[in-house]
Amino acid sequence: MNKVGICLTFSIILLLYGCQYSTEGLAEDKNYILAHNQPEDHPIHLSLERFTELVEEKSNGEITFELYASGQLGDEREVIELTQQGVVDFTKASASALESFDPVYSIFSLPYLFKDEEEYREVMNDPNIMDDIYATTEDINLTGLTYYDAGIRNVYTTDQDQVVETNEDIHNLRIRVQPSHTNIQMIEALGGTATPLGYGEVYTALQSGMIEGAENNVNALVDDNHGEVAKNYYYTEHAIVPDILLVNSDRFNELSEEEQAIIEEAGLESTRYHEEIWEEQMESATEIAKEEMNVEFHEVNKDSFIEAVQPLHEEFAQDEDTGEIYRMIRGEG
């Protein structure tokens, strides 16, 4: 974010903080702030909106929300920090962004962790696995509530003449990654040059040539306009990284059991709603990217990519933070 952006964000935060919270920092009423980084026509925004409507409805208007989209209150990392501090009450964040808050979240950025989307959904809907993960950040004042699909991530590049068949073809390419150690390791293992950037900076970085490619779901081409500048999209299918809905733990613990149950239930219902709209959105985004933005979609030799990242799998299987969950997901041990 530039200086003007930082000042603006800071002023908005002061304003929000001043209006909504008493000097003790506790919410005077149950009007909560939910902030995230995607535009208002993005499926994640629609699902978060659904979440807030469900909570409002189930609580008979006792709990209400103000939604801030498009990174208005800062990029993902900044908004996670604001949620920790209780300036923001709820946020959704990519599991990759959460990696620097708790190492267990790095598991989701491990390339080729899941066999397919079915396996991914089984894990994400398994409370035996996810409840522990959602609770890991409670000691830093963040409680995970549920997840939202954020699709299969693929590599895309700006050079019209670029051909990517094996991982050798991305050697030395400057590729944007989410600010996450595992994402950096992944691009390095594939032979590229990893450039960590907040999501809001990716379009300009692609346009200016600061980066030569990025990796994301197909929606990024359309909803975030990356397809205007990146004309080749390669089905590397290297990761399925969920978005996580988080709440400030103090704020959540202040609520009655009944209110907590309402929030949890609304979270799950919005996850189901998101699954439905996400599929449709992916299909229509692919169509628009092809037909209206002239993006070309290519298959690649996935085996070369899988092989190049094997050392990362060995590392994760041995690691004390991720070893157990790695073996659980991979069905090993």
CA atoms of 33 and 30, how far apart (whole Å): 10
Q: Rounded to the nearest whole angstrom, what is the least distance from the CB of residue 240 to ligand GCU in the complex?
A: 11
Between 89 and 243, whose beta carbon lies closer to ligand GCU?
Answer: 243
Q: Rounded to the nearest whole angstrom, what is the least distance from the CB of residue 99 to ligand GCU in the complex?
A: 12
| Cα 120 versus chain centre, distance | 15
The residues pairing with 94 across neighbouring beta strands, listed in sequence order, are 243
Binding mask 222-251 for ligand GCU (x = CB under 6 A): ---------------------x--------
Q: Rounded to the nearest whole angstrom, what is the least distance from the CB of residue 228 to ligand GCU in the complex?
A: 16
Task: Return the residue of 50, 69, 76, 99 that touches ligand GCU, per CB under 6 A.
Answer: 76
- Name residues whose C-beta falls within 8 Å of residue 286's C-beta, 6 or more positions apart in sequence: 218, 297
Between 169 and 215, whose beta carbon lies closer to ligand GCU?
Answer: 215
Task: Return the residue of 83, 178, 185, 270 that touches ligand GCU, per CB under 6 A.
Answer: 178
| Cα 228 versus chain centre, distance | 22
State yes or no: residue 216 binds ligand GCU (CB under 6 A).
yes
Q: Which helix (H) or strand (E) holds 216?
A: strand 213-216
For residues 251 and 32, is the Cβ–Cβ distance under 8 A? yes
Q: Which helix (H) or strand (E) holds 28?
A: none
For residue 16 the two structure tokens come to: 């929000």
Helices (H), the chain: 3-20, 43-58, 76-85, 95-98, 117-124, 127-135, 181-190, 202-208, 219-222, 249-254, 257-291, 302-308, 310-318, 323-330
Between 38 and 136, whose beta carbon lies closer to ligand GCU?
Answer: 38
Binding mask 137-156 for ligand GCU (x = CB under 6 A): -------------x------
State yes or no: residue 180 binds ligand GCU (CB under 6 A).
no
The residues pairing with 152 across neighbouring beta strands, listed in sequence order, are 240
| Cα 204 versus chain centre, distance | 20
Between 185 and 262, whose beta carbon lies closer to ligand GCU?
Answer: 185
Task: Return the residue of 47, 52, 84, 94 that touches ligand GCU, per CB under 6 A.
Answer: 94
For residues 176 and 238, is the Cβ–Cβ distance under 8 A? no
CA atoms of 226 and 230, how far apart (whole Å): 6
Q: Rounded to the nearest whole angstrom, what is the least distance from the CB of residue 279 to ligand GCU in the complex?
A: 15
For residue 71 the two structure tokens come to: 């990174």
Q: Rounded to the nearest whole angstrom, what is the least distance from the CB of residue 183 to ligand GCU in the complex?
A: 9
Between 156 and 316, whose beta carbon lies closer to ligand GCU?
Answer: 156
State yes or no: residue 99 binds ligand GCU (CB under 6 A).
no
Binding mask 37-56 for ligand GCU (x = CB under 6 A): x-------------------
Radius of gyration of the chain (CA): 20
Q: Rounded to the nearest whole angstrom, what is the least distance from the CB of residue 25 to ligand GCU in the complex?
A: 27
Determine the size of the site formed for ligand GCU (CB under 6 A): 9
Between 76 and 78, whose beta carbon lies closer to ligand GCU?
Answer: 76
Cα dist from 310 to 7, 166, 189, 299, 301, whole Å: 44, 15, 9, 21, 16
Between 150 and 266, whose beta carbon lies closer to ligand GCU?
Answer: 150
Task: Return the residue of 90, 105, 134, 199 that touches ligand GCU, per CB under 6 A.
Answer: 199
Contact residues for ligand GCU, defined by CB under 6 A: 37, 76, 94, 150, 178, 199, 216, 220, 243
